[in-house]
Structure 1
């Protein structure tokens, strides 16, 4: 057992990468052929953009990794999607040990075989975007994206939300999840969490072993 940052000379090309991604490095740990990704044992940690780079570099430097073990309550939707893309590309299996909720589920579903240890859970709910973050995004991108007024931005958000909803459903079904289950998972308010039973997850194709 050893922390990734304990042998960063073999993992990272430059010290600047380690400096820039130190917070993300702490979330990863190699255990034999398993790469553990855990945001829950670090205070105020969640899935963030930097984790995408660290995941990719870790897998490139450790060709023997076959399984990604997850323990995360979620975070960035974009980062979750990119991490899922990488997991699919490397053909990894996934397993939950603890909790995997929100954007973490996207990463979990990327696994070829998908399991969870006894006592673990998968949590589903709708994504959210706070008013403060929306305002910040609008102010940062309004000129480059041509939003003359907040109403222009609102129109874009409306279209983008529908597009992402469709993409999420398509992704879940493409990963073998039953359509009825996928639709139900998208109806859970962000203020709540749906934790299906192991039987429900297995019948719906969320958990699978081939």
Structure 2
């Protein structure tokens, strides 16, 4: 009878879906379950360094911008009220961490400096500065966001995340021509605009000596 065939098909579909679910959980469960939150926090904190300058006016941020770095910076700023400048040196890090630092810098009207290299999420943090200064040998790098396949994020929309940055960059006075290029390079590549391009686009305000 037809209903028996339909029942068999339905049963097969249910079995397939359950098998896929079990397979997905086996592949991803260890990515999302944190057995030791303190160990994870310690591991993240080991990826970056926050250092207050001897004169108490600057905080130097180096290393990978891991999750939690923005909160650590906020605490350090609360403890050092004389800080006016943030000096960045990083090849990037987590998108959310870069954005968190950018918003924090912006809300506190701090200036940003780069004397070496500042790429990807670091560039977003830099753009949060009220006044943005670049050393003569420094460079800013931009590229598309990417996902670490070792740690998949369900429903993570890369284009939507990039659009958030575009809106923030625009609020910071960066030109539309530059905004049209900022995420053109693939995640495997990186675009280093010239100092002239950065000045003309409003990304930086001046070139300074270290």
TM-score, normalized by length of structure 2? 0.73
Contact 1:21/1:50 (8 A) holds in 2: no
Name the structure with the higher helix share: 1
Contact 1:21/1:54 (8 A) holds in 2: no
Distance 2:81 2:44 in 1: 22
> What does 1:43-82 correspond to in 2, within 5 Å?
46-82=64-100
Question: Would you say 1:119 and 2:154 are equivalent positions?
Answer: no
1:29 aligned residue: 51
Distance 2:171 2:165 in 1: 10
Give the drift of 1:77.
0.3
Question: Would you say 1:110 and 2:128 are equivalent positions?
Answer: yes
Please identify the structure whose Cα radius of gyration is greater. 2
Distance 1:49 1:161 in 2: 17
Contact 2:48/2:61 (8 A) holds in 1: no
Give the drift of 1:50.
2.2
Distance 2:48 2:122 in 1: 17
Gaps of 5+ in 2: 1-37
Distance 2:110 2:46 in 1: 20
Question: Would you say 1:172 and 2:179 are equivalent positions?
Answer: no
2:105 aligned residue: 87
Give the drift of 1:21.
8.1
Give the drift of 1:131.
2.7
Contact 2:44/2:68 (8 A) holds in 1: no
Give the drift of 1:73.
0.5
Give the drift of 1:47.
0.8
1:194 aligned residue: 191
Distance 1:122 1:22 in 2: 24
